[in-house]
């Protein structure tokens, strides 16, 4: 159902989807936060449908906050009001049903991936884990990416960023940094919050977010010896191919078919990054399975199930 959640930051009423099983009135259940994409708002029910279906099947509660809608105004785009709206949505659920505080999760793709990683860094005390698909992780870099004459890019994203941040990265460097996950992910790393990051190898060509954004988020969360060098990141972005020395040759993951095969995967500390065949998309089935096995205070569980079925979910802009 659609509810109105009062912002504890500015007092405004913010729309939010909320669902909980009947049993949550008496027994604590996990909570999952589902986030809309960059240019959408809370009415993007096509995205919530995947998360809500999973929550219903598992008996979890779910919230789908608006976090100030499309990322083109100062309160949105990782601004403090948008961040607080997500915190307030979690607290709304906790006030209305019984929520297991050790099993609060967050998931989103594209702009939702941006906010998923930002929230893990801004509020690692809340979340056990997050799943982010094709996330934007450095807003100043994405502003530059969006201005390039390049397949898949759109200059309107730079204009949206300027509207949200009050100018260009040169004019407002602090704003761009404050709203970027890379600024905050060290806090998530130190807190041991689990993270599952997925993007398609052709994003940036068939899609608007170059894969380096995901690689750099992995690097921020990984142990130093496991990080991927900038030269390799640049080569993968340019050629849409993974160097042989980095190509995935690990165990079969049932959530990835041959059509969406894994090109690169690395797991380090509390983060796993998967670069799959595809464009600007993600694998919600794999991400939700990962989240289902995480609990705050316990080691991050990267084990693979014996069965599973995933599909590339192309994400909106």
Mean pLDDT by 10 residues, the chain (317 residues): 96 97 97 95 82 96 97 98 98 98 97 98 98 98 91 86 98 98 98 98 94 98 98 98 96 92 98 97 95 97 84 62
Residue 276 near residue 312 (C-beta atoms within 8 A): yes
How many Cα atoms are found within 13 Å in the side-chain-facing hemisphere of 206?
13
Q: Which two tokens stand for residue 150?
A: 């390049």
pTM above 0.75, yes or no: yes
* CATH for 2-136+178-314 (3.40.50.1820, 3.40.50.10860, 3.20.20.140, 1.10.3720.10): 3.40.50.1820
pLDDT at 154: 75
- The DSSP secondary structure of 52-96, one letter per residue, reads HHHHHHHT-EEEEE-TTSSTTSTTSTT-HHHHHHHHHHHHHHHHH
Closest CA to 157 of 200, 201, 210, 216: 210
What span, in angstroms and rounded, lies between the C-alpha atoms of 35 and 99? Answer: 19
The whole-chain average pLDDT of the chain stands at 95
Beta strand residue intervals within the chain, DSSP E? 2-6, 13-19, 29-34, 61-65, 99-109, 129-133, 194-200, 262-268, 271-276, 281-282, 313-314
Q: How many CB atoms lie within 10 A of CB 183?
A: 20
For strands 313-314 and 281-282, give the pairing. Answer: antiparallel
53-76 pLDDT, tens digit per residue, is 999 999 999 999 999 999 999 999
pLDDT at 182: 98
What span, in angstroms and rounded, lies between the C-alpha atoms of 62 and 23? Answer: 14
What span, in angstroms and rounded, lies between the C-alpha atoms of 222 and 282? Answer: 21
Closest CA to 134 of 69, 33, 208, 84: 208
């Amino acid at each position: 159902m659609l509810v109105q959640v009062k912002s504890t930051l500015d007092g405004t009423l913010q729309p939010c989807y909320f669902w909980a099983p009947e049993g949550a009135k008496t027994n604590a259940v996990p909570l999952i936060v589902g986030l809309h994409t960059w240019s959408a708002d809370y009415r993007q029910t096509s995205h919530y449908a995947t998360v809500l279906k999973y929550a219903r099947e598992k008996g979890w509660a779910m919230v789908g906050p608006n976090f100030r809608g499309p990322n083109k105004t100062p309160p949105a785009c990782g601004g403090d009001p948008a961040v607080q709206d997500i915190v307030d949505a979690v607290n709304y659920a906790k006030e209305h049903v019984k929520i297991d505080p050790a099993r609060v999760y967050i998931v989103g793709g594209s702009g939702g991936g941006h906010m998923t990683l930002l929230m893990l860094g801004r509020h690692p005390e809340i979340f056990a884990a997050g799943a982010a698909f094709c996330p934007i992780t450095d807003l100043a870099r994405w502003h530059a990416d969006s201005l390039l004459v390049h397949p898949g890019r759109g200059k309107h994203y730079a204009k949206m960023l300027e509207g949200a941040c009050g100018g260009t990265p040169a004019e407002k460097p602090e704003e761009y940094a404050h709203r970027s996950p890379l600024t905050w992910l060290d806090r998530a790393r130190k807190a041991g919050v689990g993270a599952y990051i997925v993007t398609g190898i052709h994003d940036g060509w068939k899609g608007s977010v170059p894969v380096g954004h995901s690689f750099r988020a992995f690097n921020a969360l990984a142990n130093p010896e496991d990080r991927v060098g900038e030269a390799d990141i640049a080569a993968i972005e340019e050629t849409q191919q993974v160097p042989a020395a980095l190509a995935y040759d690990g165990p079969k993951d049932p959530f990835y078919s041959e059509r969406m095969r894994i090109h690169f995967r690395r797991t380090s500390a509390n983060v796993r990054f998967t670069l799959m065949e595809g464009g600007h998309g993600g694998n919600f089935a794999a991400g939700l399975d990962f989240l289902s096995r995480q609990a705050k205070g316990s080691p991050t569980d990267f084990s693979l199930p014996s069965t599973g079925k995933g599909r590339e979910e192309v994400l909106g802009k």
